[in-house]
Chain A
Amino acid sequence: MKITLSMKLLFLALIFLFNGCSDKLVRVMPYEKEHFADPKMSLSPLAERAEHEGHIFLIREASAGGDSAYQGGCGCR
């Protein structure tokens, strides 16, 4: 499968969609977020493993990418 311009535009459209439909995207109220504060609720529950295996998969496989700086959390401050 090749990446087409339309696919890139679709992704950008998703970003604008998420940014523009605020009411529909407030699906969880602040008082309902306690579970997202649980250490188990992380895309990388062991950050050090994620970093180490990231190295290993890069040297053992020919693919990369799909990473985000954001790994989860409750937004509770």
Chain B
Amino acid sequence: MQIIKSFFIGLMLMIPFLKTYASELKDSASFGFDTYSDNNDVQVYSPTFELMKTISKHWLVGIKLRVDAISAASIRLGSSPSLAKPDAQSTASKRAGFDDVRYAPTLFITYDDGENTATVGGYYSTELDYVGKAIFANYTRQLNQGNTVLGIGFSQSADTWSPNNNRTLPKDNRDEQKIDLSVNQLLTPTTSIQFVYSYMNSEGFLSSPYPYMIQNGEFIGFENYPDTRTGHAFAVKGLHYIDDANAMNFSYRYYTDDWDIDSHTVSAEWLHGINDNWMIGARARYYTQTGSNFAKPLGEYSSSDKYVASDYRMTSFDSYDFGIPVTYKPSLESPYSFSFSIDYYWTSDNAYIQNWFGESNIQAVYTTIRVNYEF
């Protein structure tokens, strides 16, 4: 199932998210449960656990455990299934109750002396036909009495395919490097701005091993992308304190790569403190991208094409997101805090989505819930 593989592939560029705030290291634990559900019957349930323990004044070790249980048994093939079909053999990875389950532990250690913060770690994820391994490191340094913060992050993944349709891939690896450089600057007592540049490089088998294209009864070929990809992203982000009850954050990102995919992402969020215990907000996000230089309109592929795409992400489309975050802390002294978020995400109409899923666009709802405890 292409969508399942896509879910896991998407994780590989993701440096495990480790927030760095300019504050003292604390012992903490959190339990969470994330969900994702869309109009193509894809459902993902992700229980999470995180434990951070200081081992000295400046050192902290952490572990994060995440499980992605995915159900997508009733994916529809679309109204034009003769154009592109998923390989039915991929369902061999089914497990009782879910179509696939991914386990992903992350271990890391952090040093923080107030001016310098450094984290190194690694993660490992496993499922029946894919193993992901990665190491990552990031470092931030405060300058100018904390008005300026420079950051650098690096990650390297080395993943391995073992497709369950017995297909022999031209390469079974998927290796990715990512470097993030950032500068954060306080502008006024109520406003800060951040600039980020990211360099991303991928090598190996970068498409999914399962989807293939059939056109007018002719087998065109399996989905196949170039085996290297280099991307760059520039982002600017800002924070503004409006008054004691209100604040907002915003971001803009430009992305470009050597597959000729360009994108623009704009996001803005407003947060409102109802009282000392409750905070609620609203966030809107808009995304637009161009198509890759090898994706063609459906029906125009030929068996002589070197590259074949059946994934709508290789074509141009827009997406939108609107979400509501809520946090609750019983009291200022309480070691407990709770958070919840719900987002509605939808794409513009797209012929590839129509062909694959039988829906004109993708509509999804995703949620997060966390209980945090500091001790």
Contacts and interface: CB of A to CB of B under 8 A. Distances in A.
A47 B28 CA distance: 14
A57 B285 CA distance: 11
Contacts of B253: 63, 65-66
Given A14-B195, A56-B364, A28 B186 contact: yes
Nearest to B323: A49
Interface stretch (B7-15, B73-81, B84-92): B7-15
Interface in B337-351: 339, 341, 343, 345, 347
A72 to B, nearest CB: 6
By size class, the interface of chain B is 35 or more
B23 A77 contact: yes
By size class, the interface of chain A is 35 or more
B146 A30 contact: yes
B1 to A, nearest CB: 13
Interface in B202-242: 231-235, 237, 239, 241
Contact of A47 (B19, B149, B182, B194): B19
B231 A64 contact: yes
A27 to B, nearest CB: 6
B279 A40 contact: yes
Contacts of A62: 261, 263, 289, 292, 313-314
B71 to A, nearest CB: 15
Of listed A35, A58, A74, residue having the most chain B CB within 10 A: A35
Interface string A37-72: 111111111111111111111111111111111111
A33 B292 CA distance: 45
B149 A70 contact: yes
Interface of A: 1-3, 8, 11, 14-15, 18-19, 22, 25-30, 32-33, 35-77
Contact of A74 (B22, B187, B339): B22
B233 A63 contact: yes
Contacts of B327: 39, 45-46
A65 B204 CA distance: 19
Given A15-B181, A43-B237, A65-B178, A51 B145 contact: no
A14 to B, nearest CB: 6
A62 to B, nearest CB: 4
Interface string B248-279: 01010111100001110100010101000001
Given A28-B186, A60-B345, A63-B287, 13 more contacts: A22-B144, A27-B187, A46-B325, A46-B370, A49-B341, A52-B34, A56-B345, A56-B364, A56-B366, A60-B313, A62-B292, A71-B21, A75-B22
Interface stretch (B126-134, B135-143, B158-166): B135-143
B173 interface: no
The 5 A-B pairs with the shortest beta carbon distances in the complex, nearest first, are A65-B233, A65-B198, A75-B146, A66-B235, A73-B22
Nearest to B119: A69
B358 interface: no
B362 interface: yes
A4 to B, nearest CB: 10
B368 A46 contact: yes
A46 B282 CA distance: 12
Contact of A72 (B114, B239, B289): B239
Interface in B187-202: 187-190, 192, 194-200
B139 to A, nearest CB: 8
A22 B366 CA distance: 43
